[in-house]
């Protein structure tokens, strides 16, 4: 089921067109990635979804109806720019912001106890925000975003300033929230995170959608008919067998086996290739190599 939709969203700032008829459809319980180079319009779209700013034109729908002002109470938002009061103590601030999302003080304290223990940050409670590193502040903002258990989470560059250990921790929490049914929209420049987390993406470039769909479908769309074969036997036999319909891209060897990458020049079945190889060499593994999202991103944005 589609839980959130944006239809033909446009936004202009003075002479700059930030969004030009951008559309997205977000499935309930999925992770939806908004990708694009710097200045593409990603943050503007997230701010519109969270009702920080309004579109000049277009429609927003949430849970099969037009987006309403009080829907922010069942959304969570982690902005790219830090949104914390620097002079305020962490504990005082997270309770205050939690109450703005509708939690009682008692509920907020109970939930915060769980998260502070989970992240092992109990000793941060009485620190001022300005005493924390950017990565520490990011973890606090993550907790604030998820504390009230929103239906829709909006993350703008959630891994910014995090070291690899904390990045992995936040990724695991995002996947756990998805398992519980939370819908998540996030922007990122980290294509590895897209591979790990996203079910669907839209790629925005120069203010427009230029690529949208399931990650698995997009990878199939951009595949180049490249296969990797690991085998034992004569590499010379392998080379002679693939002449004609196949192009050898790479061949490497170690003491135990050979690994070849080949490109199929025309539409030929896997069975045809395997029938050529099996009588002459022993195949250890055979798999199609799909492009990664980083390669697809560069190819599409560069065109």
Same domain, 199 and 280: no
CA of residue 231 relative to chain centroid, distance: 35
- Helix (H) or strand (E) holding 115, with range, is helix 105-118
- How far is 66 from 71, CA to CA, in rounded Å? 10
Same domain, 212 and 257: no
- Helix (H) or strand (E) holding 282, with range, is strand 282-289
Question: What torsion, rounded to 10 degrees, do the Cα atoms 253, 254, 258, 260 define?
Answer: -50
Which of 220, 236, 256 is the endpoint of a domain? 220
Same domain, 160 and 263: no
Same domain, 196 and 263: no
Side-chain half-sphere exposure of 29, counting CA atoms within 13 A: 4
Same domain, 121 and 45: yes
Number of domains in the chain: 2
Same domain, 146 and 265: no
Same domain, 137 and 284: no
Task: Specify the CATH number for the domain of residue 192.
Answer: 3.40.50.300
Which of 192, 220, 248 is the endpoint of a domain? 220
pTM (2 decimals)? 0.89
DSSP 124-142: GTTSBGGGS-HHHHHHHHH
Its domain, for residue 128, covers 2-220
pLDDT tens, per residue, the chain with 303 residues:
999 999 999 999 988 999 999 999 999 999 999 999 988 999 999 999 999 999 999 999 999 999 999 999 999 999 987 778 888 999 999 999 999 888 999 999 999 999 999 999 999 999 999 999 888 999 999 999 999 999 999 999 999 888 999 999 999 999 999 999 999 999 988 888 999 999 999 999 999 999 999 999 999 999 988 999 998 888 777 878 787 778 888 888 888 899 999 888 777 677 788 888 888 888 999 899 999 999 999 999 987
Same domain, 271 and 133: no
Task: Specify the CATH number for the domain of residue 237.
Answer: 3.30.70.60
Which of 191, 220, 249 is the endpoint of a domain? 220
Sign of the alpha-carbon torsion through 18, 79, 26, 72: negative
Same domain, 216 and 226: no
């Amino acid at each position: 089921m589609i839980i959130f939709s944006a239809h033909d969203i446009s936004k202009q700032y003075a002479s700059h067109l930030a969004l030009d008829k951008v559309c997205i459809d977000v499935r309930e319980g999925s992770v939806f990635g908004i990708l694009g180079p710097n200045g593409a319009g990603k943050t503007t779209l997230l701010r519109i979804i969270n009702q920080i700013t309004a579109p000049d034109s277009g429609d927003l729908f949430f849970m099969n109806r037009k987006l309403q002002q009080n829907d922010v109470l069942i959304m969570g938002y982690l902005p790219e720019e830090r949104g914390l009061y620097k002079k305020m103590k962490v504990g005082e601030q997270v309770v205050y912001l939690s109450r703005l999302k509708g939690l009682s003080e008692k509920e907020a304290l109970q939930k915060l106890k769980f998260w502070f223990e989970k992240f092992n940050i109990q000793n941060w409670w009485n620190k001022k925000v300005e005493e924390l590193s950017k990565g520490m502040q990011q973890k606090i903002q993550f907790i604030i975003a998820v504390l009230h258990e929103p239906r829709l989470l909006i993350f703008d560059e959630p891994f910014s300033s995090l070291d690899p250990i904390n990045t992995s921790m936040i990724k695991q929490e995002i996947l756990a929230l998805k398992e519980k049914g939370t819908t998540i929209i996030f922007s990122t420049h980290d294509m590895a995170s897209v591979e790990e987390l996203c079910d669907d993406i839209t790629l925005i470039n120069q203010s427009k959608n230029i690529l949208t769909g399931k990650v698995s479908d997009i990878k199939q769309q951009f595949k180049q008919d490249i296969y990797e074969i690991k085998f034992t036997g004569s590499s010379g036999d392998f080379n002679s067998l693939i002449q004609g319909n196949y192009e050898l891209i790479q061949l490497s060897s170690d003491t135990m086996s050979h690994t070849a990458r080949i490109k199929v020049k025309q539409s030929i079945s896997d069975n045809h290739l395997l029938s050529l190889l099996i009588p002459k060499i022993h195949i250890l593994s055979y798999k199609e190599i799909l492009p990664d999202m980083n390669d697809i991103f560069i190819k599409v944005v560069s065109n």
